[in-house]
Amino acid sequence: MQINLISVGSRMPGWVQQGYEKYARRLPRECELVLKEIAPGKRGKSSDIARIVKDEGERMMAAIPQGGHVVILDIPGQSWTTPELAQAMKRWLESGQHIAVLAGGPEGLPDFVKQRAHESWSLSNLTFPHPLVRILVAEQLYRAWSILHNHPYHRE
């Protein structure tokens, strides 16, 4: 299984790349975490935001692996505890499908992307900056894997 984090945003600061890679590298090949960046549309005073969000959504949909299980990051989604995320990961591993975790841009995900989702995951009721979301997702996926494999990381 491969977990694809499909995220709107590019040219992240070095600390974001380092934080993300710290946890992504720790995951074994059986649940490899791969980042797929979607370049954000240009936003300005007179931008057509609806068109930009639609375009970002179309590019995100194109990045989903064929037959992939889609999990969107969305505030009204399911709020999991880390052990519950571990159970979701166990289910994903058993399915044998590739997983696509989608993080939208500043305006979120368009409706057609939300309708494609099999699951909706809420990291928090708080709004996080997109760079931080990458690190949080990578760390929580690694923590969930560590629970499933009785690795000491979760207890540190």
Instruction: Count the neighbouring beta carbons within 10 Å of the beta carbon of residue 46.
Output: 4
Binding site members: 73, 104, 123-128
The binding site for S-adenosyl-L-methionine consists of 73, 104, 123-128
CA angle (69 as vertex; 63, 73 as ends), nearest 5: 75
**DSSP structure class, residue 27:** S
Neighbours of 97 (CB within 10 A): 16
Cα(142)–Cα(139) distance, integer angstroms: 5
* Closest residue by Cα to residue 98 from 67, 126, 60: 67
